Amino acid sequence: MEKAERTGEGIYLYCIIGTGEAKNLGDIGIGGRGDALTTAGYEDISAVISKSPETKYVLNRENLLAHQRVIERVMKEHTVLPVRFSTIADSIEGIQGVLRKRYEEFKKLLRDMDNKIELGIKAMWKDIDAVFQEILQEDEEIKRLRDKTAAMPPGKTYGDRINLGKMVQARLKRKKEAEADKMMNVLRTISVDTRTNQVYGDNMVLNAAFLVGMTRIKEFDEKVEGFDAAHNERLKIKYVGPAPPFNFVDIVVEWK
């Protein structure tokens, strides 16, 4: 596995929390040494930090999971503002300087995220061949062009095959959007905020994150369960959470 080049030692930032109290949150710091999670504070906010054996980390699965695990651990006790992966300071004073300069920004974000969690939904068609058959039945022009290319030698239908592929992909995209909207329109009404992320491959219909208030989590669960039951033969739904608000807060720190 590719490793970051060793360039010295730094102080790794994971997230911002709403307390000025000194904390020790466990020995799970990034880098594999078991560095302690502590805090660097200003007034009534703090950065969760650990010593780091590196001053730059490669964006790979191992490092990203280590970063996320810390934030998820801290979320059990505090409202968290996630800091971008591989944010590393030279000194505690530098971190406290950022907290001081951006104090009002962080306080507002902490209020905005208080008593809210992120929930994620991914939905995929179980049988993509059946979906392509639906497209043929629904679109006469696609069906006509498919039949034409099937009846002629491949060398004489190259242009038609290219056009057919484009038409099917465009129709597939519209079909995905229509099915995704059915779920989004329901879940959006009980969410504080939503983010739709890129879908991958022909099968994936929806890839979305929802910021949900604690008092509405049960209602959200019930809506997802209802949608899953109603569409179980057609869709596979992956429901994840609770998670820190990774899709809604991404603190970027630039050192000067």
Q: What angle do CA 234, 138, 196 make, to 5 degrees?
A: 50
**What is the reported pTM?**
0.84
Q: Give the type of residue at 96.
A: Q
pLDDT, tens digit (0-9, with 9 covering 90-100), for 204-254: 999 999 999 999 999 999 999 999 999 988 999 999 989 999 999 999 998
Q: Give the type of residue at 155.
A: G
pLDDT level of residue 161 (50, 70, 90 thresholds): low
pLDDT, tens digit (0-9, with 9 covering 90-100), for 15-64: 999 998 888 888 888 988 888 999 999 999 999 999 988 778 888 999 99
Q: Who wins on pLDDT, 51 or 148?
A: 51
pLDDT at 158 over 80: no
Contacts of 211 (CB under 8 A, 6+ apart): 113, 116, 117, 118, 191, 192, 193, 194, 245, 247, 248
Structure tokens at 56: 């730059």
Percent of the chain with pLDDT over 90: 61
Cβ atoms 86, 68 nearer than 8 A: no
Query: Residue 41 forms beta bridges with which residues?
Result: 46
Q: What is the mean pLDDT of the chain?
A: 87
Distances in Å between the alpha carbon of 215 and those of 89, 115, 116, 191, 218?
Answer: 37, 8, 9, 11, 7
pLDDT level of residue 3 (50, 70, 90 thresholds): very low
pLDDT at 155: 56
pLDDT at 157 over 90: no
Q: Who wins on pLDDT, 76 or 142?
A: 76
Edge-to-edge strand ranges of the sheet holding 45-52? 38-42, 45-52, 10-17, 80-89
